[in-house]
A and B are shown apart, each in its own frame.
Chain A
Amino acid sequence: MRDFLLRRLIQVVPTVLGLLVLIFIVSRVMPGDPVRLALGPEATKDQIAAYQEKLGLDRSLPAQFGHYVAGLLRGDLGESIRTYRDVRLDVRDFLPATVELVTTALVVAVCLGVPFGILSATYPNTWVDNLSRLVAVPGVALPRFWVGILLQVGLAYQLGLFPIVGRASRPPQAITGLLLLDATLTGDGAAFVDAARHLALPALTLALPTLAQVARLTRAAMIDVFRRPFMLVHAAYGVPPRRLVWRYGLRNGLTSVLTLVGMTYGALIENAFLVEVVFSWPGLSAYGAAAVLAKDFNAVVGVTLVVGLSFVLANVLVDLLYGYVDPRIRYN
């Protein structure tokens, strides 16, 4: 298992390096002049030259790339031209909200989607199956920003069940920045409830299409597993149906579900861009979306980098889980 982990981590190196090059190309080589944008149309030639020197834009591209990577290794992401702060600090402040949102959505999608999928595969063409397909098929077609607006208008404005926007009206003492966790650690029950009520609609919005997709693919994977000979053999030996499904079936169907969860994570991160804007959620994605429109390059690079890296990391994690679920993969 340790060798497997090591091998997998070494494979990540070229991907991460490629990611750096890609983001560098997007931010430096593409048209658009960050200096002009930062200084405005009134800037003199000297001011432009000085600012270019400050950003290192007067050097050759390879030298710029070296400078950029060296900065990253020091944890230096440059300064934002929008918030006038270190991008690193901005990322630190905005990341926990996104992590909390995406993780909650992932948990909701998997914890509801997988059982739904298994149930419809176990009882095909019954009301359970029909109901879950009736939800799953249109579910994947829902634009998240639209669902968010509908839920906001219906449940928050009209019925007043949830707060309309924001993350907390009464945040707990900050430890990790994850409000639910902080509230638990400090034993602050009221803050926990408050944070959970704020989190409910954004997380549900983000999770809904993914939940549908997870349910649909789990159903397909499980039906595929049920058809395999070993399931018939177990059934013939008199293994009780429930044990057959949840122990033998699920373990074998789980690999394809895991792949999906890995891909899902990426989908959730990027859709957080839309959901955060709808609910004014103070997260990294809303920050990144604002940075794009303000052409705040350092911030855009910082956000893309963090999002890309966490995506790569999520894929490694999924591979490790594969090794755990399916020993054949571990030893290959």
Chain B
Amino acid sequence: MSIPASATTELPGALAGARPRRPARWVRRLLRNPLSAAGASIVLLLVACALVPGLLAPFPEDAGPSVHFDRTYQPPGAVHWFGTDEVGRDIFSRTVFGARVSLLLVVAVLGIALGVGVPLGLAAGYWNGHWSSTGIMRVTDVFLAVPPLALALAVTAAFRPDLGSAMLAISFTWWPWFTRLVYGEVLSRREEPYVEAARALGQHDGVILFREILPNVVSPIVVKATLDVSFVILLGSGLAFLGVGAQEPTPDWGAMVARGRTFLPVHWWMSTMPGLAIFVAVMGFNLLGDALRDALDVWDQ
């Protein structure tokens, strides 16, 4: 059955709300809210910075080990929007390139955390009561009992303090949150009629888990992952600030703030500008995450 496009747009409000939701609509609704639209724009901008920093940064060579003694310590101005640092590198260009490090960290951490946490949560929820499920959840509880930054720091002590260690350390502390979330979701879904029907039809457990249950718990996972992006950026920049992250000359926002501290209070821009980038990035992902949560929350309507 198909409805002509002209007919759907003329439906009165109450009826329009009763139609099944389609992606195009929630995307449109998401963008109508100015705050959500701002969040989406910030995130797009960050992704652009991460993908093609060379095109957006006025001095791309400054992301590397370049030195310009003729323009050190310049305050923010028309040429150098964020000023220059102690070896004359353009801070704006370095901040643009810094987005790449931050987003790389986010992708790695969430990739590993989802890859480990979701299957464990699915298994623990589906075979709840079995000893392996109890085991998984006890281990999860232990991880959740340690503040992530403390644990991540302890883990990095065993490695060189570089970006790879930071990724590994944060992932190491992050997967249990997904396990806990998915476990709870699966517990509430596994007795639902469609699961019982699949079981009655003699489907394999694996098929039931991945074809019947997983698609129904995807939206809380997506929302949590989006909201987590900002936490991971904050945690990663915090680690970098303490010295565990991408090493010089690679630009890393947290490390740039830490380096700039040496030149306070006179050359204030060296710490302030990269910090501003962290703030804006986190803000963007927060706004987008909130918007996604509202848009995907079926119960809210």
Contact = CB atoms under 8 A, between A and B. Distances in A.
A14 interface: yes
Contacts of A23: 154
Contacts of B278: 143, 146
Interface string A133-158: 00001101111111001101100011
B154 A18 contact: no
Nearest to A16: B145
B145 A312 contact: yes
A311 B145 contact: yes
Contact of A304 (B141, B151, B237, B282): B151
A18 B244 contact: no
Given A141-B282, A149-B261, A30 B146 contact: no
Contact residue range for chain B? 35 or more
A315 B147 CA distance: 12
Interface stretch (A39-47, A88-96, A233-241, A284-292): A284-292
B81 interface: no
B88 interface: no
Contacts, number: 148
Interface string B245-258: 00000000010011
B155 interface: yes
Nearest to A146: B275
B268 interface: yes
B141 A18 contact: yes
Given A143-B275, A143-B279, A311 B242 contact: no
Given A15-B141, A288-B153, A311-B146, A143 B238 contact: yes
Contacts of A15: 141-142, 145
A252 B145 CA distance: 26
Interface in B182-229: none
Interface string B155-178: 111110100000000000000000
A315 B146 CA distance: 11
A30 B158 contact: yes
A300 B234 contact: no
A22 B146 contact: yes
B67 interface: no
Nearest to A15: B145
Interface string A288-332: 110111011100110110011001100100000000000000000
Given A27-B154, A152-B264, A292-B157, A146 B271 contact: yes
A307 B146 contact: yes
Nearest to B280: A141
A307 to B, nearest CB: 5
B244 A292 contact: yes
Interface stretch (A60-68, A169-177, A267-275): A267-275
Which of B147, B155, B241, B283: most chain A CB closer than 10 A? B147
Contact of A18 (B139, B230, B272, B283): B139
Contact of B265 (A27, A153, A307, A311): A153
Contacts of B149: 270-271, 273
Contacts of B143: 22
A157 B264 contact: yes
B268 to A, nearest CB: 6
B95 interface: no
A131 interface: no
Contacts of B234: 143
A75 interface: no
Given A22-B146, A312-B145, A141 B283 contact: yes
Contacts of B68: none
A153 B148 CA distance: 29
B138 to A, nearest CB: 6
B279 A142 contact: yes
B158 to A, nearest CB: 4
Interface of A: 14-15, 18-19, 21-23, 26-27, 30-32, 137-138, 140-146, 149-150, 152-153, 157-158, 266-267, 269-271, 273-274, 277-278, 288-289, 291-293, 295-297, 300-301, 303-304, 307-308, 311-312, 315
5 contacts: A18-B138, A143-B278, A153-B268, A277-B241, A311-B145
Given A18-B139, A289-B242, A292-B154, 7 more contacts: A26-B155, A27-B157, A143-B234, A145-B257, A273-B153, A292-B244, A297-B157
The 8 closest A-B pairs by CB, nearest first: A18-B142, A146-B275, A270-B149, A270-B147, A30-B158, A141-B282, A32-B158, A141-B283
